[in-house]
Amino acid sequence: MEQGFAGKVIVVTGGASGIGAATIALLARDGAQMVSVDRAATTPDGAALALCGDVGDPGTVAAHAAEIDARLGGFDGLVTCAGYSNGKAVPDCPVSEWEAIMRTNLTGTFLWAQAAVAAMRAHRRGGALVMTGSQLAFAGGRANAAYLASKGAVVSLARTMAVDHAPEGIRVNVLVPGAIDTPLLQRAFDRAPDPGAARQRSVSRHPLGRLGRAEEMACAIRFLLSPEASFTTGSCLFADGGWLAG
């Protein structure tokens, strides 16, 4: 993405809310043509195209990628934000829930990364991918086994892709957020017996003394997609409020 964002086509999965929606709004202001992909039939502010479907379904991803190519001429950047958790430890996690989380968080990332590389190869213009990880993939955490496992796998996927596709001018990096004040996080708090206390415990884990904001994560994603990060690939950008340092 060596020419900046004007006219670039960037796809964001999980684009209807949270970090994805904030990223679409930010990069649209920079002149990018933003594509939102989400289960929700919602068009976020700044989206030139909104596609509704399951990111973990190969046929849906293939159809969406073909539509993006037909309508916008392929794409230059990919941000994978789609994901969710169930708040369960291994003994309490049914296989069906494990597989559903892996389907969205990991397989969805894989399928869209596969589509992105194919599009970038077809148009011979390189590009950048940013995958969304989690500080919990590095720090560990209670009662969230499938989510943590999926995010650890995303980090490994990004690193191997960075090596494989560097010669093609395709960069792949990972944003590692802390606890970000989004609907996803609020749903996790709401599973606790005392959601307010759960929220405060999360705040206390950050030396900066607060939760992160989706707009802050969008700025970090913007950097990883931008020419300023042209020598950065296979890396994790930690935007975790000091969680791991503390």
Which residues are annotated as catalytic? 147
Alpha-carbon span 138 to 143, nearest angstrom = 15
Question: Using alpha carbons only, what angle is made at residue 39 by residues 118 and 108, rounded to the nearest 5 degrees?
Answer: 40
Specify the amino acid at residue 180. I
Torsion sign, CA atoms 29, 174, 161, 38: negative
Length of the chain (residues): 246
Which SS3 state, helix, strand or coil, does residue 17 take?
coil
Within 10 A of 162 (CB to CB), how many other CB atoms are there? 19
Alpha-carbon span 143 to 192, nearest angstrom = 11
Inter-CA distances, 148 with 37, 102, 138, Å: 23, 10, 9
Alpha-carbon span 69 to 63, nearest angstrom = 10
Strand order of the sheet with strand 33-38? 47-52, 33-38, 9-13, 77-80, 127-132, 170-177, 236-239
Instruction: Tell me the β-bridge partners of 37.
Output: 13, 51
